Amino acid sequence: MRFWIGIDDTDSSKGMCTTYLSVIIMEELEKARMKVEGFPRLIRLNPTIPYKTRGNGAVSFLVKGDLQEAYEITKNCMETYSMLEDEKTNPGAVFVEVNNKAMNYLHNFAVKAVKDVVSMDQALFIIGKFMIPHIKMKLGRGLIGALASVGLELYDYTLELLAYRKPERFGTERDYDKESFFRADSETYPLTWDTVDWHNDVVVAVPSSPDPVLYGIRGDSLEAIERASKIVITEEVDKRQFFITNQGTDMHIIDENEVNEVENYHSYRLRGTVVEKPYDIEGGHVFFTIETKFGRIKCAAFEPTKQFRDVIRKLEIGDLIDVYGSVKRETVNLEKINVLNLAEVYKMENPTCPVCGKKMESAGRGQGYRCRKCKTKAEDKIKVKVERSIEEGFYEVPPCARRHLSKPLVRMDVEKKHVFR
């Protein structure tokens, strides 16, 4: 029998990781002479869901074997390893036979779980209607991600190699050679990306959370990721696993043409004209407003987006841009922008003397302007075009501020782009 196992919400901010638990389950299944076919899938869901504080990632994998036995093994592993004491951790797992008609429903369900908000009732409805064997622990909210990870079709996908630590090292500081990650990036970019952030001098591949992950290398090429993983120097790797993912695909982005309104907790591409100049608030966050077909919408580049804010600060009233990002509190949290058309900006200056070419001075209130030396005169200030210090094209947040789902420009086939690396 062939069936998908989907699993989600087993971890907490204090530890564990659903990908790691999945690796343990896959090992146990293989010990029981079952076969895991292909790579497991790491599916990132709507990143704005309020009760999810971490990456909101669910895992699924295809198994050939006995479903009842796989169910027992999975349940044992979940009971042993899930962070059940954390109130926000509500694990769920599903077991969906490949020929179950539920698969047709799950494709749409999954897209909704990535772009929109799905209720527990909708998950339980599908489970009931198609009699899907499942494991529901505590509130069982993980059933939503478990179903979605099974159902999502990956028209675009990327890869991630996750390396895990020795269990006795969990919670301690990660021991690794920073420079080796920069070298791995130099030698494999752009087939791998977001391993490091050169500008901000950060190793992005190594998390700082207390979970079992030692590092994760992302990219589009299995071979390049393998090569990068051989370059990096770290403490001992206990387990490693490739995942097929929807990371770096922009799958969470809803195009403005698909909807009639902009709602909180959704992510969009919106076109608009800048109507309020960017301004800084305390903490280094930058805000501005655009006029879209849905009305005026506030946009934000928060402090962690670093040098991306310098691009935003150069926007002027009248610039036509596309913004990409999640809407929270009626504000777009920018992930990238595409500057489509720069407005012509003018400033008023004192006129120039036609004889000596120097700037004229004011001749007194209401008296116009004059050149003291040549005695030339002029009535009014003149309009001078300001040279813009920003170009058209795409700009993105740096790797250290990238969302899992955001498509990095290095993966985008567009003509004008300004990659932060």
Residue 1, token pair as written in the block: 């029998």
Supply the minimum distance, in Å, between the C-beta of residue 382 and Zn ion: 15
Pair 58, 7: CB distance under 8 Å: yes
Neighbours of 253 (CB within 10 A): 22
Contact status: 384 vs Zn ion (CB under 5 A): no
Q: Which of 355, 361, 380, 416 binds Zn ion (CB under 5 A)?
A: 355
**Which residue, 323 or 353, has its beta carbon nearer to Zn ion?**
353
Supply the minimum distance, in Å, between the C-beta of residue 375 and Zn ion: 8
* Entry field: residues in the chain: 421
Distance of CA 322 to the CA centre of its chain: 17
Q: Classify 65 in phi/psi space as left (phi over 0), alpha (psi -120 to 50) or beta.
A: left
Q: Which of 356, 361, 362, 416 binds Zn ion (CB under 5 A)?
A: 356
Ranges within 23-62 binding Zn ion (CB under 5 A): none
Supply the minimum distance, in Å, between the C-beta of residue 354 and Zn ion: 8
Q: Which of 63, 301, 371, 397 binds Zn ion (CB under 5 A)?
A: 371
Q: How far apart are the first and last CA of the chain?
A: 46
Pair 6, 93: CB distance under 8 Å: yes
Q: Which helix (H) or strand (E) holds 99?
A: none
Q: Which of 120, 139, 343, 374 binds Zn ion (CB under 5 A)?
A: 374
Contact status: 359 vs Zn ion (CB under 5 A): no
Contact status: 353 vs Zn ion (CB under 5 A): yes
Pair 146, 58: CB distance under 8 Å: yes
Q: Coil, strand, or helix at residue 348?
A: strand
142 vs 83: CA distance, rounded Å: 13
Query: Interface with Zn ion by CB under 5 A: which range of 70-78, 319-327, 349-357, 406-414?
Result: 349-357
**Which residue, 301 or 371, has its beta carbon nearer to Zn ion?**
371
Contact status: 360 vs Zn ion (CB under 5 A): no
Residue 383, token pair as written in the block: 């309009």
Supply the minimum distance, in Å, between the C-beta of residue 356 and Zn ion: 3
Supply the minimum distance, in Å, between the C-beta of residue 350 and Zn ion: 12
Query: Interface with Zn ion by CB under 5 A: which range of 100-108, 224-232, 321-329, 364-372?
Result: 364-372
Pairing mode, strands 295-301 and 285-292: antiparallel
Query: Interface with Zn ion by CB under 5 A: which range of 73-81, 301-309, 367-375, 383-391?
Result: 367-375
Contact status: 354 vs Zn ion (CB under 5 A): no
Supply the minimum distance, in Å, between the C-beta of residue 383 and Zn ion: 20
Residue reference for tokens 């800084």: 280
Pairing mode, strands 92-97 and 35-44: unpaired
Question: Which residues here bind Zn ion, judged by CB under 5 A?
Answer: 353, 355-356, 371, 373-374
